[in-house]
Structure 1
Amino acid sequence: MRKSKPKKRIILPDPKFNDVLVTRFVNDLMRDGKKTVAFQIFYDALEIVGNRMKNEEISPLDIWKKSLENITPAVEVKSRRVGGATFQVPMEIRAERKTAISIKNLILFARKRSGKSMADKLAAEIQAAFNGEGGAFKKKEDTHRMAEANRAFAHFRF
């Protein structure tokens, strides 16, 4: 859209936790429009996380939120063409994109894991992200490392 920005869609909170972030996560987790299946996978994963991490005093939902927070990148690199050369320019990410990236990375690396069900794989990835390890956390670290390496080109931001 050239002239105007599209209207923001209103996302309804999920039925169990009454949280909009959960619905955003489930919408990205969903395949072929099967939202009830996606909700079931998410709730089962949180239940598995709750059973595995009984010694933690916080709820499974808070563990999930903390793990999302742990894998949220602050900067990313974007390609900028200046003259004949292409530079990887580090840029700060706006808040909505940060959450979108972290959600997508968590789901992507959960799908890549080996395990029986998607709920098991998601629970394992949530646990790994909470502890500061796993594929999604490594992706964030790599993104930050790349931005740090290309900090010299930060003046190409515009």
Structure 2
Amino acid sequence: MRRGEKRIAMRIVYQAAQIVEKNTASPFLSVLEKSVMNVKPSLETKSRKFGVESAKENKESKPMFEKLAEEIKNAYNKTGGAFKKKETIHKEAMGNMEFAPASFNR
């Protein structure tokens, strides 16, 4: 969150949660948990940021809470920017397995 505005960040997340619950008819926490599992890397990688970036990069004129809700729903359905980035990173990691320590080669 820019400028450390905790109240604004909380409001955005709560509004996104309401939208996700209304559109999926499932509890927000279960949708969020599955969304995170869908975009989490399956291999150990070096620190790289991805996920909410996709919501920020979306240049539509929607409010941030709507963009965040859309990105959570997309991750839940295994689509969207965060999921695509996860797959790209996974492909890169698999391509670089020859440079990984022997304990990581499977």
Measured against the shorter chain, the TM-score band is 0.7 to 0.9
- Higher strand fraction (1 or 2): 1
Per-residue CA deviation, residues 101-144 of structure 1 (Å, 9 max, x unaligned), is 6xx52211011122410000000000000000111001110111
TM-superposed CA distance for 1:74, in Å, is: 2.7
Residue 69 of structure 1 deviates from its aligned partner by 1.3
Aligned counterpart, 1:152: 98
**Match of 1:51?**
22
Distance 2:98 2:78 in 1: 28
Q: With structure 1 as the length reference, what TM-score do the two structures score?
A: 0.58
Superposed CA RMSD in Å reads 2.2
* C-alpha contact (below 8 Å) 1:106/1:136 kept by paired residues: yes
SS at match of 1:132: coil
1:8-47 superposed matches below 5 A: 30-47=1-18
Could you say which structure has the greater relative contact order, defined with CA pairs below 8 angstroms and 6 or more residues apart?
A: 2
CA offset digits 1:85-110 (Å, max 9, x no partner): xxxxxxx259xx6xxx6xx5221101
Higher helix share: 2
Q: Is the radius of gyration larger for structure 1 or structure 2?
A: 1
Matched, 1:107 2:75: no
Residue 115 and residue 59 in structure 1: after superposition, are their counterparts in 2 closer, same or farther (change >3 A)? farther
CA contact (8 A) 2:45 2:93 kept: no
Moved over 6 A (4+): none
- Percent same amino acid among aligned pairs? 39
- Unmatched segments (≥5 aa) in structure 1: 1-29, 76-91
Write the distance in 2 (CA, Å) between the matches of 1:142 and 1:44: 30
Q: Name the SS of the counterpart of 2:2 in structure 1.
A: coil
The runs of 5 or more residues in structure 2 that have no matched partner are: none
